[in-house]
Amino acid sequence: MSLTLSVDTARSSLQATSDQISVVSRNIARVHDPDATRKTATIVSGPGAGVSIPQIDRTSNDLLFNAYLTANSGNQAQTSIASALDQLQSTVDDTDQERSPAALMAKLSAALQTYSGNPQNPAVAASVVSAAKDVSNALNSASATVTQVRQQADSDIASSVSNINSLLSQFQDLNNQVIRGTSNGSDITDVLDARDAVLKQLSTEVGIRTVSRNNGDMAIYTDSGVTLFDKVPRSVTFQQTPNLAGGAPGAAVYADGVPIAGTSHIMEIQSGKIAGLISVRDDVAVTYQSQLDEMARGLINAFSETDQSATPTLPPVAGLFTYSGGPALPPSGGVVAGLASSIKINPNADPSQGGNAELIRDGGISGNAAYKYNTSNAPSFTDRIQGLISSLGSGQTFDASTQLPSSSSVADYAKNSVSWLEALRQSVTSEADYRSTVAQRATASLSQGTGVNLDEEMTNLLDLERTYQASSRLISTVNDMLSTLLQSFS
Amino acid sequence: MLTSTYISTASLSSETKASIARIQQRLVDAQTELATGRHADVGLTLGAQTGVAVSLRQDIAQIQSIKDTNSIVLTRMQGSQAALNTLATTSQTFLNALTPAQSDNTISGTILQQAQAAMQSLQDQLNSSLDGQYLFAGINSDVKPLDDFFGNPPPASAQAVQAAFTAKFGMSPDDPNVSSISASDMQDFLNNEFADLFSDANWSANWSGASDKPVNSRISRTETANTSVTANDNTFRQLTEAFTMVAGLGFQNLNNATQKVVMQQATQIVSNGIGGLTKVQSFLGVTQQRVSDANDQIDTQVDFLNKSIDGLESVDSAEVTTQISDLSTALEAAYAVTNRLSNLSIMDFLK
């Protein structure tokens, strides 16, 4: 009787050991999968005889996992701002390249100075026009870059949102499998791994926190507390704007009907790619755009012409630099949206468009003789040129909402804008570096806490081999004993 | 099963991958810095200070262009000085000829030639040009300041002199009968009608195409200066008046007493004119000095600004070299570790 029991026990041991070996092989198969957790098959001694494996366990660490989610979201937000700033930085380039609006304004001033030494030379006047063109082109292209960065952010938000929706629907499938598996006791460890992988991806797009329930069910909320998933996925919606208006914020992102990013300030998400992209689209790029617009307005004002009649009656008008609303000056007192994209050289002063560059010296670029400074058409008249040089360097009032000193010359304003951009880029990049280090640490901790170690699995395998061999020997020994017994009877 | 120190195989390999990538990135930056001598990403390194670097470059561009125009301005003023020097010599020669002639009756022909030569020289000098710009034309630099007084047909200036003479004496200056003009009548004519020909309005109308407004130049970031003298200056009018008096009023046919009156008047005016020339020359000289001072200052400023830019943007090449060798060592170590780790497998020992 007891021999049979021994064989039963040995058989159950063989069964359990092969189950354990299968778990080891599952672990080894996914040794390089960052989403895989280590599975363990715990042996339980049965009430009668033998051992059994009631369930497969999964090494998990909620603390490390949540730390990973937070660090990943924070890193993604900063990274997307930093990469947008890198794009904006192309409008300034290296200081050595002298392609920033500030450097080109200095070149324009230098060209004017050269012209003041050779006022009778039309070729030098034309070089002033080309220097001025460089400035207006730089503003146009910088403005285009900013619009492109905003537009890119807008479309990235749209793809993020559709990614979130598809992740949420994947999550629903996996979550249902977990609930079913929990209730009927089947092995759900791989499903849990897959569900966690979805959460990791979700944290890339938006900052989340999770709440677990008894039956294995899980609910997801944004870091601001809006429900993303509870039994069923909540729909996240976003209307992409095909043409973002200068200075105006884009559309908001809604989850479950509540704005989570964009216009709202109550339930706004703090981290994740969407938070970073929204900050680029509605804040950083908009501020930079308004700075460019103010530079354009400053330039138009610095080159404006005043009525030179004995008793001036006419308002000042745009001179060398004009814009779509010229020749009247742009409204004073604040940012005029879109000015940087529409600033241009007045064709009347542009030789390549049939104009006369010497009007820079003479005045009256707008075509009205009342604005003519050089009334006697003297070829060495330098008063107007000198006036232009000093007005490029003299103080103007700029919109304080552009985050730059509001009282400065247009050249200084442009310089301050470079400082603003680079300072922001420096702080965001170092913040992003820090966040990325934190995220790497969190990844490493999570992987070390829950991942698979090949060496450990192999040593386990050795143990299991021994157990298997011992159990087999036991069976064969019992078999020998039984044979001996039977032979003794024959 | 959970051991106290546990590391997953995935994190082991990803850690070495990440550290190699980090070192390589820094190595690339350091190599750029070594090649250019400047920070790999100036904007990122300087942050808010970048504006200062931009501003320093703005300043250099501006003062460099001021220096360039200053050299043009200086050349122009040197040209003007040379012309004024010649003019001073001519006037002095004329004055020297006049002084003995007043007591000697025989050399009137020489005086006339001297006067004509001086007039010619005055016109030549005031019409001198540089690079197509008339130096004494003020801002009307494309207009020749003086027409040739002896030209044919006679210019407005010669016609005006002729007309005034005819109105006063009823005959042209070429008429041999001018010998009948009395000394007192001539004195009266010279003091009133003839002097009036050189008033501001008549000068601009008949004689000079120049503008009253001298060329104004910016000679430093804060200073502007008048850097030319115009032919409308009183000095030139006086000299012209004196030369014309002898050369344009039929001097050779006048009687001795009248000639003497003319010569006395001319002597007085030329003396004043020469005094005026000295003033004009010293005015230009002072401005020349200001311009060359400004240029010296600009050289110092450019040096200083370049040094400031270097201070902001440059990297210490010795430091970068050390950094590169450190990074290379670190990279080699990381490769060695990776290699060891990949060789270090339990599989090799489980035979």
Chain B, window 37-56: residues with a beta carbon less than 8 angstroms from a chain A beta carbon: 38, 42-55
First to last CA, chain A: 20
Nearest chain B CA: its distance from A216 CA (Å)? 24
Distance, CA of B267 to CA of A215 (rounded, Å)? 124
Whether the per-residue pLDDT at B103 is higher than 80: the answer is no
Q: What are the distances in angstroms from CA A147 to CA A244, A276, A322?
A: 8, 17, 21
| Cβ pair A294, A335 in contact under 8 A | yes
pTM of the model: 0.86
Nearest chain B CA: its distance from A380 CA (Å)? 4
- Residues B54, A102: C-beta atoms closer than 8 Å: yes
Residue A1, pLDDT score: 53
Residues from chain A contacting residue B44 (CB–CB below 8 Å):
422, 425-426, 429
Residue B104, pLDDT score: 65
Q: Give the residue among A322, A63, A127 at the shortest CA–CA distance from B65.
A: A127
pLDDT in tens, B108-121: 678 888 888 999 99
Nearest chain A CA: its distance from B316 CA (Å)? 18
Q: What are the distances in angstroms from CA B230 to CA B54, B83, B144, B182?
A: 41, 12, 11, 37
Enter the tokens of residue B169.
Answer: 């004496």
Kindly indicate the confidence band of residue B106, based on its pLDDT and cuts at 50, 70 and 90: low
Q: Please give the single-letter amino acid code of residue A413.
A: Y
Residue B325, pLDDT score: 94
Q: Which residues contact B40 (CB under 8 A, 6 or more apart)?
A: B28, B29, B30, B32, B33
Q: What are the distances in angstroms from CA A2 to CA A8, A15, A52, A478?
A: 10, 20, 19, 10
Chain B, window 101-160: residues with a beta carbon less than 8 angstroms from a chain A beta carbon: 132-133, 137-142
pLDDT in tens, A33-78: 888 899 998 888 877 668 888 888 888 888 999 999 999 999 999 9
pLDDT in tens, A319-370: 999 999 878 999 988 899 889 999 999 999 999 988 899 999 999 998 888 9
Average pLDDT (B119-148) is: 89
Flag whether residue A135 sits within 8 Å of chain B, measured between CB atoms: no
Residue A111, pLDDT score: 93
First to last CA, chain B: 24
Whether the per-residue pLDDT at B105 is higher than 80: the answer is no
pLDDT above 90 as % of chain B: 37
Which of A256-265, A412-421, B262-271, B316-325 shows the lowest per-residue confidence on average (mean pLDDT)?
A256-265
Q: Give the residue among A165, A488, A443 at the shortest CA–CA distance from B13.
A: A443
Residue B127, pLDDT score: 92
Ranges in chain A, pLDDT < 70: 1, 48-49, 264-265
Residue A134, pLDDT score: 94
Chain B, window 202-231: residues with a beta carbon less than 8 angstroms from a chain A beta carbon: 211, 213, 215-218, 224
Instruction: For B47, name the nearest residue in chain A, comparing CA atoms only.
Output: A423
Flag whether residue A426 sits within 8 Å of chain B, measured between CB atoms: yes
Computed over every residue of chain A, the mean pLDDT equals 90
pLDDT in tens, B249-258: 888 888 888 8
Check residues B95 and B349 and name the one with the higher pLDDT: B95
Which of B11, B61, B139 lies nearest to residue A107, judging by beta carbons?
B61
- Residues B61, A109: C-beta atoms closer than 8 Å: yes
| Cβ pair A59, A449 in contact under 8 A | yes
Distance, CA of A242 to CA of A42 (rounded, Å)? 58
Distance, CA of B145 to CA of B138 (rounded, Å)? 9
Which of A102, A381, A423 lies nearest to residue B139, judging by beta carbons?
A381
- Residues A117, B216: C-beta atoms closer than 8 Å: no
- Give, to the nearest 10 degrees, the angle between helix B256-313 and helix B50-101: 160
Residue A288, pLDDT score: 94
| Cβ pair A127, A107 in contact under 8 A | no
- Residues B346, A33: C-beta atoms closer than 8 Å: no
* A33 alpha carbon, distance to own chain's centre: 26
Residue B1, pLDDT score: 46
Nearest chain A CA: its distance from B129 CA (Å)? 13
H/E element, A174:
helix A122-184
Residue A455, pLDDT score: 86
Which of A59, A116, A429, A440 best tests the B interface by mutation, with the highest count of B CBs <10 A? A116
Q: What are the distances in angstroms from CA B92 to CA B89, B110, B240, B277?
A: 5, 15, 14, 11
